[in-house]
């Protein structure tokens, strides 16, 4: 029996503005660097650092497989991670991050990373502009299901 495995990601952003919460959900693209990162984590002799950081930004460039950064990163935060069940037991990695907004931002992108700065990017998504102002917050839940 041959079995194939893939990764399917989706990020949900809850934008908190003046007591109103607006929910947005978007699929993501696992970039080439992210695939190499995951392969390295599978092999003890190669190793690597797990995904524990999330960033949002104002870039709107088209995603390409070779992306290694966001177009214009604005804020990066550490995440709380766990495994959850989508189809089979514990087949989904769930990462949760919370962003405090300072200044006015036209958010258009988000990504998952293995370091607090620079590092390797697992995946990236772009989306229609979310206008955030100082004092707003954006809570993010990013699910990566292994299929």
Domain count within the chain: 1
- Indicate whether 104 belongs to any domain: yes
- Indicate whether 123 belongs to any domain: yes
pLDDT for the residue 141: 98
Tell me the per-residue pLDDT of 47-103, one tens digit each, with 9 for 90 and over: 789 999 999 999 989 999 999 999 999 999 999 999 999 999 999 999 999 999 999
pLDDT band, very low/low/confident/very high, at 45 (cuts 50, 70, 90): confident
pLDDT for the residue 1: 76
Q: Give the strands of the sheet with 137-146, arranged side by side.
A: 20-27, 7-17, 137-146, 92-100, 80-84
Query: Are the beta carbons of 142 and 10 closer than 8 angstroms?
Result: yes
What pTM does this model have? Answer: 0.93
- Indicate whether 64 belongs to any domain: yes
- Indicate whether 3 belongs to any domain: no
- Indicate whether 93 belongs to any domain: yes
Query: Are the beta carbons of 140 and 81 closer than 8 angstroms?
Result: no
Range of the domain at 12: 8-146
pLDDT for the residue 44: 86
Q: What's the rounded Cα separation, in Å, for the pair 133 and 131?
A: 7
- Indicate whether 52 belongs to any domain: yes
121 pLDDT more than 90: yes
**Chain centroid offset of residue 40 CA:** 19
Greatest Cα pair distance, the chain, in angstroms, is 55
- Indicate whether 16 belongs to any domain: yes
């Amino acid at each position: 029996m041959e079995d194939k495995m893939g990764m399917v990601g989706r990020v949900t952003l809850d934008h908190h503005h003046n007591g109103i919460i607006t929910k947005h959900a978007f699929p993501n693209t696992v970039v080439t660097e992210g695939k190499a990162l995951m392969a390295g984590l599978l092999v003890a002799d190669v190793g690597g650092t797990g995904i524990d950081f999330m960033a949002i930004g104002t870039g709107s460039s088209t995603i390409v497989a070779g992306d290694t950064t966001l177009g214009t990163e604005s804020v990066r935060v550490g995440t709380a991670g766990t495994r959850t069940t989508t189809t089979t037991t514990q087949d989904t990695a769930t990462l949760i991050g919370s962003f405090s907004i300072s200044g006015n931002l036209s958010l258009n992108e988000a990504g998952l990373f293995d370091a607090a700065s620079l590092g390797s990017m697992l995946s990236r998504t772009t989306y229609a502009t979310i206008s955030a102002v100082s004092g707003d917050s954006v809570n993010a839940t990013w699910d990566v299901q292994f299929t």
